[in-house]
């Protein structure tokens, strides 16, 4: 982030305290603050690890910050029994006076699913164009067609961006503006060219509003558009553009974008075609806490219906002097609260991502101790968040990213785009890379 929020250090201290080693806490008389411990060794985390997570949760040691708090312990019991946390209860959790307890509960749930593991992948972000027919009020990325900094990559230019790292990355992540002239042919050609040159690379591309725009420009239905793009090589949708799935909020921050119902319909159609997707939430603009909880509840209902969300990616609005001056920015404390509450509420979406391009590495390292289990990827190049003020390094190697996870007290697991191929970074490798980060923020 361009400017770390002022409560950042306090949060870091709290998290260090919550995660301190048991022997140390015994000495100072706070043994039950220790990190939740599983009664059995955790298996490598994959989808099958999710099936018994409530049972594992029931067997975990309960931190004192959770056990001695009536709201949190009641929530824990409810989660173990399979009871859904309502949006109203989500508000209470989000605002709960024990920040440490809220994070400890979310961390318990994360650990019941994945133990110490935190996932990342080797990916490359490419933005095919910054030209956009819309003008969302939070967006620092879009340019008009005739703006001197506008650009639009040809399929050849797009593929040439992959050349230098094509053998090391697993995934291309591509989202961009709504180009007024491009139809489905442009994207299908890009995807086919990537697959012809790098057949093993997974293509995660296009937000719901891009799909809608391409469908309209091409005279196709959403289903036909997604089907044709899948045929051309599209592997999954990244989930961007959900913002807040409350239309009165959307009307204020991104008028003209797809409605909440359309976002859900496009993702549901993708799921029905066997295209997995992520889902996101942009918070800290003009929404109320109740809108955030409505958003989580809405995603949960959609997941019950269509089942294809792999990962939820919450990220805060990064401000500058020009965009959304009335935004009620989220502090670092609030960002971690959102991530923790998401983990507790979203019982049917397996992964919660700490998107380091937006959060920054230091806050991401706290987030993966507060409910998040994924820290995204090596990224390679990123424009959307950096245009908005992010200073997070986008040139991390796999080794540097693993080091970030290890320095957070956790175990890095390299994944593919669908979490179906997983590799724990081994002990030797961990020993070799267990050095402090030169530049942790």
Name the H helices within 247-383: 247-253, 260-272, 289-306, 332-345, 356-359, 361-367
Q: Are 174 and 205 in contact (CB under 8 A)?
A: yes
Nearer to ligand SF4 by Cβ, of 139 and 244: the residue is 139
Q: Are 403 and 437 in contact (CB under 8 A)?
A: yes
Tell me the closest approach of the beta carbon of residue 87 to ligand SF4, in angstroms: 26
**Residue 395, φ and ψ in degrees, nearest 5:** -120, 25
**H or E stretch including 375?**
strand 374-377
Tell me the closest approach of the beta carbon of residue 221 to ligand SF4, in angstroms: 21
Q: How far is CA 223 from the centre of its chain?
A: 25
Q: Are 252 and 324 in contact (CB under 8 A)?
A: no
Count interface residues toward ligand SF4 (CB under 6 A). Answer: 12
Three-state SS for 315?
strand
Nearer to ligand SF4 by Cβ, of 173 and 415: the residue is 173
Is residue 135 at the binding interface for ligand SF4, with CB under 6 A as the rule? yes
Nearer to ligand SF4 by Cβ, of 233 and 240: the residue is 240
In the list 120, 141, 309, 355, the residue contacting ligand SF4 (rule: CB under 6 A) is 141
* DSSP sequence for 36-79: P--SSPPPPPSGGGGTTHHHHHHTSPPPHHHHT-HHHHHHHHHH
Is residue 352 at the binding interface for ligand SF4, with CB under 6 A as the rule? no
Is residue 317 at the binding interface for ligand SF4, with CB under 6 A as the rule? no
Nearer to ligand SF4 by Cβ, of 129 and 310: the residue is 129
Q: Are 1 and 390 in contact (CB under 8 A)?
A: yes
Q: Of the listed pieces 90-98, 132-140, 157-165, 188-196, which binds ligand SF4 according to CB under 6 A?
A: 132-140
Nearer to ligand SF4 by Cβ, of 142 and 217: the residue is 142
Tell me the closest approach of the beta carbon of residue 320 to ligand SF4, in angstroms: 14
Distances (CA, A) of 61 to 31, 34, 80, 112, 396: 11, 9, 13, 11, 35
Q: Which of 269, 270, 294 has its CA nearest to residue 345?
A: 294
Is residue 313 at the binding interface for ligand SF4, with CB under 6 A as the rule? no
Binders in 263-282 for ligand SF4, by CB under 6 A: none
Binders in 160-189 for ligand SF4, by CB under 6 A: 177-178
Q: Of the listed pieces 127-135, 164-172, 181-189, 366-374, which binds ligand SF4 according to CB under 6 A?
A: 127-135
Is residue 142 at the binding interface for ligand SF4, with CB under 6 A as the rule? yes
Q: Of the listed pieces 56-64, 66-74, 135-143, 305-313, which binds ligand SF4 according to CB under 6 A?
A: 135-143
Q: Would you call 46 exposed, middle or buried from its count of C-beta atoms within 10 A (0-12, 13-18, 19+)?
A: middle
Nearer to ligand SF4 by Cβ, of 100 and 384: the residue is 384
Q: Would you call 6 exposed, middle or buried from its count of C-beta atoms within 10 A (0-12, 13-18, 19+)?
A: exposed
Tell me the closest approach of the beta carbon of residue 21 to ligand SF4, in angstroms: 44
Q: Given the structure tokens 């790098």, which residue do they identify?
A: 198
Q: Of the listed pieces 45-53, 72-80, 130-138, 215-223, which binds ligand SF4 according to CB under 6 A?
A: 130-138
Map residues 218-257 to x or -, x wherever contact with ligand SF4 holds by CB under 6 A: ------------------------------------x--x
Q: Which residues bind ligand SF4 (CB under 6 A)?
A: 132, 134-136, 139, 141-142, 177-178, 209, 254, 257
């Amino acid at each position: 982030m361009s400017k770390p929020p002022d409560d950042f250090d306090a949060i870091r201290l709290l998290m260090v305290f919550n995660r301190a080693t048991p022997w140390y806490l015994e000495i100072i008389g706070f043994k039950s603050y220790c990190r939740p411990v599983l009664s059995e060794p955790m298996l490598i985390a994959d989808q099958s690890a999710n099936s018994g997570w409530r049972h594992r949760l029931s067997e975990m040691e309960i931190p004192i910050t959770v056990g001695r708090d009536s709201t949190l312990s009641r929530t824990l019991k409810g989660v173990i029994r399979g009871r859904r946390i309502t949006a109203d209860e989500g508000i209470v959790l989000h605002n709960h006076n024990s920040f440490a307890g809220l994070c400890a509960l979310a961390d318990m749930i994360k650990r019941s699913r994945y133990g110490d593991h935190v996932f990342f992948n080797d990916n490359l972000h490419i933005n095919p164009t910054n030209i956009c027919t819309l003008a969302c009020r939070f967006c620092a990325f879009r340019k008009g067609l005739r703006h001197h900094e506008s650009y639009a990559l040809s399929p050849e230019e797009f593929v040439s961006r992959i050349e230098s790292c094509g053998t090391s990355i697993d995934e291309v992540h591509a989202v961009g503006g709504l180009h007024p002239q491009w139809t489905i042919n442009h994207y299908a050609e890009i995807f086919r060219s990537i697959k012809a040159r790098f057949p093993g690379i997974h293509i995660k591309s296009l937000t719901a509003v891009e799909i809608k725009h391409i469908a309209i420009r091409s005279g196709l239905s959403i289903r036909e558009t997604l089907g044709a793009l899948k045929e051309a090589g599209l592997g999954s949708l990244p989930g961007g553009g959900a913002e807040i799935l409350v239309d009165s909020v959307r009307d204020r921050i991104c008028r003209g974008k797809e409605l909440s119902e359309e976002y859900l319909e496009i993702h549901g159609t993708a799921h029905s075609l066997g295209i997995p997707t992520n889902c996101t939430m942009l918070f800290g603009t003009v929404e109320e806490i109740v809108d955030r909880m409505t958003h989580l509840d809405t995603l949960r209902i959609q997941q019950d219906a269509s089942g294809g969300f792999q990962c939820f990616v919450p990220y805060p609005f990064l401000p500058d002097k020009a965009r959304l001056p009335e935004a009620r920015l989220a502090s670092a404390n609030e960002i971690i609260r959102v991530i923790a509450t998401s983990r507790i509420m979203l019982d049917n979406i397996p992964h919660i991502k700490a998107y380091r391009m937006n959060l920054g590495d230091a806050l991401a390292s706290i987030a993966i101790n507060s409910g998040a289990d994924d820290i995204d990827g090596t990224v390679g190049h990123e424009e959307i968040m950096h245009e908005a003020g992010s200073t997070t390094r986008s040139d991390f190697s796999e080794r540097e990213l693993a080091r970030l996870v290890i320095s957070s007290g956790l175990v890095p697991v390299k994944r593919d785009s669908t979490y179906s191929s997983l590799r724990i970074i081994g002990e030797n490798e961990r020993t070799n890379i267990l050095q402090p980060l030169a530049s942790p923020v």
